[in-house]
């Protein structure tokens, strides 16, 4: 189970469209734009719904505008305000048809609101609706189009809707409050889909939920820290789904590291943040400094839940603490990172750190089984193989999911061959995810080399021993190991031994294996096969004399080769 702690001073060392809006308002502007719909929009915004309404006062073109179609596709629900002249507008009727199409192909929620029209008139196309269609037919509109509109009106009238006279006795303010409550219940307001098999999440998110619900008047900051693929983002999304309704505004910014590295990435993140905080309104800013001012003005009077996913740079952390005093008391900020060591000394007292730990054996086997077999335990004949895969994955959810899915439906001999291959060549999808932490050290090649040396030769060795050897090879080993610990690439156990997660270990050795394919790049030999290959190419004496220069890239290859030379000779005798 993950640990929840105060940060200590010593630690300073063609997919579906994303849902941008909760509610899309469909209405006849001439009837209700400046009265009922305006009040409804305001109530939705105050409730915290990201709400879209078309502010264009002029009549639209012959067809529904592309941006309106996109807004409907990116909305989780539509509220259709039926007024006397709604059916008179062909643009409103086209909008209605498209909304119902979205309902049929997705989980789009539709709520009809009968503001100034009888539902029976909509269903049976009588009264004001009949008059509107008589005018459409006089204008010689396409018969197929009129037929489509009529069918849409009958369909929407059969949905569970709300009627001003029935639900609130004609009192508009009470009616609007009831509409907002119904929307809230229908949406159930969970914006993020969680992994299909959330094994172990409930116990791991418990402390995060307690922190989010503690009622503190402070602006709290929490770092969710852990190795890549361990489930930091999943935990953050789960906690966000459960708690964001407690706040007046909320925002989850994904992939901060990746987005911030793009051209104008910080400006784009600011626009995303303001878009959510300002209830879905379109925001235009042109510089980081302009964005800072807009953000300060937007968050100063509302409690906010902000999640920043995958933060990896000191400047990003500094910016968050710089803004901390702007947030309204009671706001909470969650940061997911692979590098808890980003915190500086002056930030220590103002934050908490949640260390996400790997799954235990039972949880690991259960997660793997769901992905491999579609049930919570291995099927007969695959039990021992499944346990070998679970042991190889070391409780890392990403690895369990990837390998479970890739082995699903395969024969036993394929499983056995895959396990043998994994001993030498790890799964590429897993390595790609884990390598992000290693690549983040590209400005410090000494730390990258230190990591590769440890992966090849020193895992399980005492820290003092490792420091003594590598300091003799011109490394600043103590600070280098601390940097690797902060990046979740290395751990130091209770007995002061240098350890590495199995998948991180595999990743380091895979980097070395790939490097060795380049001419002149064979700098570390950790596999028997590679060592014997080198022995075949050169004599031990030549290798020893050319390599013994006390650089760490040569000491251990030479040491290993000498051992293998004598072992090989002994075996041949």
Residue 414: CB partners within 8 Å, gap ≥ 6? Answer: 407
Alpha-carbon distance of 482 to 138, in angstroms, equals 80
Residue 504: phi and psi, rounded to 5, are -65, -40
CA 73 to chain centre: 21
Tokens 């793009």 appear where? Answer: 262
Q: Hey, what are 523's tokens?
A: 């700098």
Alpha-carbon distance of 363 to 2, in angstroms, equals 14
Tokens 């906690």 appear where? Answer: 239
Contact 81, 27 (CB under 8 A): yes
CA 10 to chain centre: 29
Residue 213 in 3-state DSSP?
coil
The CA-based dihedral angle spanning residues 324, 327, 333, 335, taken in that order and rounded to the nearest 10 degrees:
-50
Smallest CA-to-CA distance from 219 within 297, 129, 300 is with 300
Residues in the chain: 573
Smallest CA-to-CA distance from 365 within 391, 390, 402, 341 is with 390
Q: Which of 46, 95, 258, 282 is catalytic?
A: 95
Tokens 């990746």 appear where? Answer: 258
Alpha-carbon distance of 233 to 520, in angstroms, equals 40
Residue 323: CB partners within 8 Å, gap ≥ 6? Answer: 292, 295, 296, 299
Q: How many C-beta atoms lie closer than 10 Å to residue 508's C-beta?
A: 27
Q: Hey, what are 29's tokens?
A: 């502007």
Give the C-alpha distances (Å, rounded to integers) separating 63 from 29, 60, 322: 16, 8, 48
Q: Hey, what are 306's tokens?
A: 């902000």
Tokens 């199995």 appear where? Answer: 502
95 belongs to the catalytic site: yes
Tokens 């000498």 appear where? Answer: 562
Contact 533, 523 (CB under 8 A): no
Residue spans of alpha helices (H) in 244-326: 256-260, 265-277, 288-299, 314-323
Alpha-carbon distance of 254 to 95, in angstroms, equals 31
Smallest CA-to-CA distance from 273 within 184, 333, 329, 217 is with 333
Active site residues: 95
């Amino acid at each position: 189970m993950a640990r929840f702690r105060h940060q200590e001073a010593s630690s300073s060392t063609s997919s579906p469209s994303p849902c941008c809006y909760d509610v899309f308002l469909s209405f006849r502007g001439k009837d209700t734009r400046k009265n009922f719909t305006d009040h409804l929009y305001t109530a939705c915004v105050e409730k915290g719904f990201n709400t879209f309404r078309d502010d264009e006062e002029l009549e639209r073109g012959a067809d529904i505008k592309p941006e309106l179609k996109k807004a409907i596709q990116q909305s989780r629900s539509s509220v259709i305000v039926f007024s006397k002249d709604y059916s008179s507008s062909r643009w409103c009727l086209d909008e209605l048809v498209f909304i119902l199409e979205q309902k049929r192909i997705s989980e789009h929620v539709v709520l009809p609101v009968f503001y100034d029209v009888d539902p029976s008139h909509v269903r049976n196309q009588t009264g004001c609706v009949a008059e509107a269609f008589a005018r459409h037919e006089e204008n010689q509109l396409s018969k197929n189009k009129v037929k489509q509109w009529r069918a849409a009106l009958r369909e929407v009238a059969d949905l569970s809707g709300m009627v001003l006279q029935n639900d609130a006795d004609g009192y508009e303010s009470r009616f609007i409050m009831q509409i907002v409550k119904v929307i809230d219940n229908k949406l159930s307001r969970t914006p993020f889909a969680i992994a299909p098999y959330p094994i172990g999440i409930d116990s791991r998110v418990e402390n995060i939920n307690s922190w989010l619900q503690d009622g503190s008047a402070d602006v709290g900051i929490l770092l969710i820290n852990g190795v890549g693929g361990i489930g930091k983002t999943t935990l953050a999304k789960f906690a966000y789904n459960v708690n964001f309704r407690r706040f007046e505004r909320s925002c989850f910014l994904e992939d901060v590291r990746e987005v911030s590295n793009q051209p104008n990435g910080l400006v784009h993140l600011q626009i995303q943040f303001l878009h959510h905080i300002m209830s879905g309104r379109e925001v235009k800013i042109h510089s980081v400094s302009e964005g800072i001012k807009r953000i300060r003005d937007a968050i100063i009077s509302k409690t906010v839940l902000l999640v920043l996913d995958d933060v990896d740079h000191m400047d990003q952390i500094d910016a968050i603490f710089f803004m901390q005093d702007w947030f309204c008391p009671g706001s909470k900020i969650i940061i997911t990172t692979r590098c808890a060591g980003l915190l500086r000394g002056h930030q220590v007292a103002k934050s908490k750190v949640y260390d996400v730990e790997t799954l235990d054996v039972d949880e690991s086997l259960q997660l793997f089984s769901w992905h491999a077999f579609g049930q919570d335990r291995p099927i007969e004949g695959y039990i021992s193989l499944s346990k070998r895969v679970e042991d190889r994955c070391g409780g890392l959810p990403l690895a369990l999911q990837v390998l479970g899915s890739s082995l699903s439906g395969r024969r036993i001999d394929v499983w056995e061959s895959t396990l043998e291959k994994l001993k030498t060549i790890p799964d590429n999808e897993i390595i790609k995810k884990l390598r992000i932490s290693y690549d983040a050290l590209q400005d410090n090649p000494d730390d990258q080399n230190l990591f590769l040396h440890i992966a090849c030769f020193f895992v399980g060795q005492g820290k003092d021993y490792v420091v003594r050897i590598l300091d003799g090879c011109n490394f600043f080993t103590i600070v280098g190991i601390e940097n690797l610990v902060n990046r979740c690439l290395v751990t130091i156990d209770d007995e002061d031994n240098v350890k590495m997660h199995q998948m991180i270990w595999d990743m380091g050795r895979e980097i070395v294996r790939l490097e060795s394919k380049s001419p002149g790049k064979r700098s570390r030999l950790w596999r028997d096969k590679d060592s014997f290959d080198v022995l075949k190419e050169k004599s031990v004496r030549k290798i020893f004399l050319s390599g013994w220069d006390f650089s760490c890239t040569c000491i251990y290859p030479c040491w290993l080769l000498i051992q293998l030379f004598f072992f090989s000779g002994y075996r041949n005798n």
